[in-house]
Structure 1
Amino acid sequence: MSELVFFSGTMDCGKSTLALQMDYNHRRRGRRGVIFAKLDRAGSAMISSRLGLATEAVEVEDGLDFWDTVVRWLTAGESIDYLICDEAQFYTGEQVEGLARIVDELGIDVFCFGITSDFRTELFPGSKRLVELADRVQVLQVSALCWCGRRATHNARVIDGVMVVEGEQVVVGDTGTGAEVEYEVLCRRHYMRRMNSRAAALASATDDVLPFDLDVCPVIPPAGGAPGH
């Protein structure tokens, strides 16, 4: 039986790596599939993992109709056994419904990969619809870790070293350092305290208390002076 499966987890837990591995395993057994991605860190029409693996993919634009696209390919004689859909949190609810229809009416497996909630802990539209419609929602077993060593459960947006909880829902960034917009995975405790790794390091360097004892992040003045200068 074909399935719509949603593989979910925080950033840094290996979702794209698993997507590429799954595609490899299915192709080895003679199955034919199509890889879709959206807003990948490597650029348009790509799927990449932080381990260095990458391959070409079909870019999912907001106006892409999965049902019409797949039916057109099948009508043209293409053979499709499965779809790999990475960064599925960015898909629209209508696109997820189209994927469910492909499973039910065409008998094609659809494997979606993505994070569930954004940096504000709010569900992405695509993830919300997948949780509602998927045959299975599978949380990845590889756990990303917070700076404190606990299992990370939340994705934090960091700008100039400071965690923020306001702004546009979709802003492309990475978990690497040096980017204008970075993302960091945190445990719930430190997410709620707005304490990312930089704030914890500053607190440890300037106070005689452990970062765990602080209720909030210290105020970090902008470069070049105190706040307001």
Structure 2
Amino acid sequence: MAELVFWSGTMDCGKSTLALQIDHNHRARGRRGLIFTRLDRAGDHVLSSRLGLSTAANEVPEDLDLWDTVVDQLTAGDRIDYLLCDEVQFYTPAQVEQLAQIVDDLDIDVFAFGITADFRARLFPGSQRLIELADRVQVLQVEALCWCGRRGTHNARVVDGVMTLEGEQVVVGDTASEADGPGGSSSTVEYEVLCRRHFMRRMTSGAARAAAPSAETLPFDLVACPVPPRC
């Protein structure tokens, strides 16, 4: 039976790489699928991995009806065995419901990949609806790491080198994108994966490098030791 499966995780955990691998495996067995994505780091109509792999994809604007798109292709005689949907955190809840309908009524597998929470540690609407509707929610086994070495659990937005919890929920930045800052000025927007401890302290890798070692930057308490051999 067809399933709606949601693979989730932070940035840098290999979601898009896995999506490309799953597509390759299914095509190698003669299955035919459609690939969808939205706001990929490489631009429109492409699904790309940080490892440098990419493939053509259908862009998903907010007004696209995925059910109608699939039904139209089936009616035209195309064969569709599965859908591969990347960056699903940017899909609307209605589009996620359309994916569930495709699984239930058309018996087509849907493999969805995306980030669970935004830079404020709040669920994306698309990801939330997937968690509510998916047959399975899979957390990717490849763990992204915080600068301190702990498991990365949160996606921090860094504007001009400073972590922020303010702004629009969706701002494409990745490594060196630009966004309008206060007064219309251009600001560099980046994203960094942090553990919960350093996310809550707003301590990015850049802030840690700039600060002197202290209990705020190290994962343990510093203890004064006037007589080192007897500490």
After TM superposition, is the score higher than 0.5? yes
The sequence identity of aligned pairs, in percent, is 71
Aligned pair partner of 2:214 in 191, 206, 209: 209
Q: Show the counterpart of 1:37.
A: 37
Taking the aligned partners of 2:119 and 2:145, their CA distance within structure 1 comes to 16
Look up the match of 2:183.
none
TM-score for the superposition, normalised by structure 2 = 0.89
- CA-to-aligned-CA distance 1:115-168 (integer Å, 9 cap, x gap): 000000111010000000000000000000000000000000001111001100
CA deviation map 1:29-87 (0-9, x unaligned): 00000000000000001100000001110000000001111000000000000000000
Is the counterpart of residue 140 in structure 1 residue 140 in structure 2?
A: yes
| Distance in 2 (alpha carbons) for counterparts of 1:140 and 1:182 | 23
The gaps in structure 2 that reach 5 residues or longer are 179-187, 221-231
Q: Which residue of 2 aligns with 1:181?
A: 189
Provide the aligned C-alpha RMSD in A: 1.5
Q: Offset at 1:212?
A: 2.2
1:208 and 1:62 map into 2 onto residues whose CA distance is: 46
In the alignment, structure 1 residue 18 sits paired with structure 2 residue 24: no
Amino acid aligned to 1:191:
F
> Equivalent residue for 1:89?
89
Instruction: State how far apart, in whole Å, the 2-side matches of 1:161 and 1:7 are.
Output: 30
Aligned equivalents of 1:160, 1:148: Cα separation in 2: 21
TM-score with structure 1 length normalisation?
0.89
Q: Take 1:19 and 1:59, find their aligned partners in 2: how far apart are those partners?
A: 16
Q: Cα distance, 1:177 vs. partner?
A: 5.7
**Alpha-carbon separation, structure 2, partners of 1:127 and 1:173:** 19
Match of 2:225 in 1: none
**Matches of residues 1-229 of structure 1 in structure 2 within 5 Å?**
1-174=1-174, 176=175, 180-203=188-211, 207=212, 209=214, 211-212=217-218
Structure 2 distance, partners of 1:112, 1:192, is 29
Sort the Cα spacing of 1:177 and 1:43 in 2 relative to 1 into closer, same or farther, 3 A. closer
**Compared with structure 1, are the counterparts of its residues 158 and 69 closer, same or farther at alpha carbon in structure 2 (3 Å cutoff)?**
same
CA distance, structure 1, for counterparts of residue 98 and residue 135 of structure 2: 14
Please give the alpha-carbon distance, in whole angstroms, between the structure 2 residues aligned to 1:93 and 1:115.
Answer: 15
Q: Is the 8 A contact 2:37 2:57 kept in 1?
A: yes
What is the letter of the counterpart of residue 171 of structure 2?
V
Distance, in Å, in 2 between the alignment partners of 1:213 and 1:112 is 35
Q: Distance in 1 between matches of 2:78 and 2:176?
A: 42
Q: Which residue of 2 aligns with 1:218?
A: none
Q: Deviations over 1:156-197 (max 9, x none)?
A: 0001111001100000011x3686210000000000000000
Residues 75 and 195 (structure 1 numbering): CA distance in 2 closer, same or farther, change over 3 Å?
same
Counterpart in 2 of 1:225? none
* CA–CA separation in structure 2 for the residues paired with 1:146 and 1:88: 24
SS in 1 for 2:191: strand
- Which 4+ stretches in 1 moved above 2 angstroms? 176-179, 207-210
> Structure 1 unaligned runs (5+)?
215-229
| Aligned residue-pair number | 211
